[in-house]
Chain A
Amino acid sequence: MEVPILKQGPFLIATIQAALSDADLEQLRTALVNQAVRYRSLGVIVDVTAMDVMDSFASRMLLTISRMIRLRGADTVIVGIQPDVAFAMVQLGLTLEDIPTALDLEEGLAYLQQRCRNSS
């Protein structure tokens, strides 16, 4: 299940649409980083609204994506973590450390736009 990546101005939006295997997550990481380089993106949004489970592998992969994108001088925002998923993550002891999160796509875009304005 490949995750579609949409280019929206200076930003990339990856919308996860179904449960992802570990290989799918690795593929997403590679595709996002490649596209961020190709388009000189300033920010990346990963929409996880449709994710049924966020386990240790998925969290680690999102952290890796965020760090790689950071090295390119861009920001990553995770949007749409469902309340039940958040509850399970906390119980499991997972955090997304310093990756910014937002309620939904709209808020995520607003966050990135704000960051761009502040740095220009």
Chain B
Amino acid sequence: MSDPVEMNISSDMDVVRARQEGRSKALLIGFSVSEATLIATAISELARNIVSYAGEGVVALQAVQTGSRSGLVIVAADKGPGIANVSLALRDGYSSSGGLGLGLPGVRRLMDEFDLVSAPGRGTTVTVKKWRPRM
């Protein structure tokens, strides 16, 4: 089990760094290249939301093991303006159907578990998990 990684996110270069770190960590703990790409893409979206909406925040990566399952937990947290309407943010609205365009429904599809905690003025924390397929 590898050590947790925590990265400060405040620029578009940090977004690139975070997703590269996520990819290498995913590969390190045994995910396939294809799964690592899904994870890197999800991190890219989450980290960009931090830069775009909060200015700065943190992305943390942690390998997890529960029973026979192992996987990766990603926490993207900021102290930005927060999301007033969480259900609207989770509505699929990439084109124009009324979502907030944060890419969160897409991130939810990329990962196995998804949790969003946010309130206006209180920042946003998104926690996502990807489990390795059982052998």
Contact = CB atoms under 8 A, between A and B. Distances in A.
B89 interface: no
A92 B107 contact: yes
A91 B103 contact: no
Contacts of B33: 84
A19 B20 contact: yes
B37 A55 contact: no
Contacts of B103: 55-56, 92
Contacts of A56: 45, 48, 94, 103, 106
A31 to B, nearest CB: 17
A95 B94 CA distance: 10
Given A22-B48, A55-B48, A91 B38 contact: yes
A53 B94 contact: no
A88 interface: yes
Interface stretch (B10-18, B63-71, B115-123): B10-18
A21 B47 CA distance: 12
Contacts, number: 69
A91 B106 contact: yes
Interface centre among B16, B38, B41 (most CB of A within 10 A): B41
A52 interface: yes
A88 B45 contact: no
Given A19-B20, A23-B12, A93-B109, A53 B92 contact: no
Interface residues on B, range: 20 to 34
Contacts of A39: none
B34 A91 contact: no
B19 interface: yes
A91 B110 CA distance: 6
Given A22-B12, A84-B33, A93 B92 contact: yes
Interface in B1-51: 12-13, 15-16, 19-20, 23, 33-34, 37-38, 40-41, 44-45, 48
B82 interface: no
B22 to A, nearest CB: 10
A94 B40 contact: no
Given A92-B110, A93-B109, A55 B12 contact: no
